[in-house]
Structures are given as C-alpha cells and as structure tokens.
Amino acid sequence: MQCAKCGLEVPADAIYCPHCTGERKTTDRDVIRGGIKGGLIGLLIGLLPALVLLYIYGAERGIKAIAFITPFITFTTGLIIGLVKAKRDWK
Ligand SMILES: [Zn+2]
C-alpha cells in the first residue's frame, strides 16, 4: 500500500501513515512532561545520597553545599535524559 499524501510505502494493515503522522505522535507537551518526569526521578536519586550525607556528617558548610548541589545536578541530568528520551520516541 502507498500513502496518498507522501507516496511512501505503508503497511497494508496500518490505520494511518506512519511517515505522515509519526512525527505528531509525541507533542511538545509530551516532551516537556518526559523532561519533568526524568527531572523528578533525578531529583529523588540525588536527594537520597544528599540526605545520607547530611545525616552522617551533619549540616557542615561543605556538606551543605554538596547536599544542595547533588540533587540539582541529578535533576538537571534527569531532565535532559527525560527530554532526549521523549524526543527520541517522537521519531
Ligand atoms: Zn504518508
């Protein structure tokens, strides 16, 4: 079967053309949602060692900085991974 719109080969049992509609499967909102989800997971992952550090060493100046920066870094990493992952599902 051939798509009437783009002329590319489409599986006979396909309801819609994957070449035409494939890019619209994931919207910007989905990508943002994926990023937020990844960021939150990263935040949780980063908070755990930060809390453990605070618990073991107390809120000393250096520990406080690490406990603050670690979840921030993991949040950012998770956010990027989530965005890239959601974007990759797009295509
Ligand atoms: Zn098409």
Asked if the structure places residue 21 within a domain, the reply is no
What are the E-state strand segments in 21-71? Answer: none
Tell me 11's DSSP state. -
What is the distance in A from the centroid of ligand 1 to the CA of 1? 11
What is the distance in A from the centroid of ligand 1 to the CA of 48? 47
* Higher per-residue pLDDT: 22 or 55: 55
d(CA 35, CA 23): 18
d(CA 18, CA 2): 11
Q: How many independent structural domains does the chain possess?
A: 1
Q: What range defines the domain where residue 55 resides?
A: 26-90
From 1-10, 38-47, 53-62, 69-78, the region with the lowest mean pLDDT: 1-10
Longest dimension (CA), the chain: 68
Asked if the structure places residue 19 within a domain, the reply is no
Asked if the structure places residue 13 within a domain, the reply is no
What is the distance in A from the centroid of ligand 1 to the CA of 13? 14
Asked if the structure places residue 62 within a domain, the reply is yes
Q: Each residue of 9-40: pLDDT tens digit?
A: 888 777 777 777 655 556 778 888 999 999 99
Q: How many CB atoms lie within 10 A of CB 66?
A: 14
pLDDT at 40: 97
What is the distance in A from the centroid of ligand 1 to the CA of 32? 26
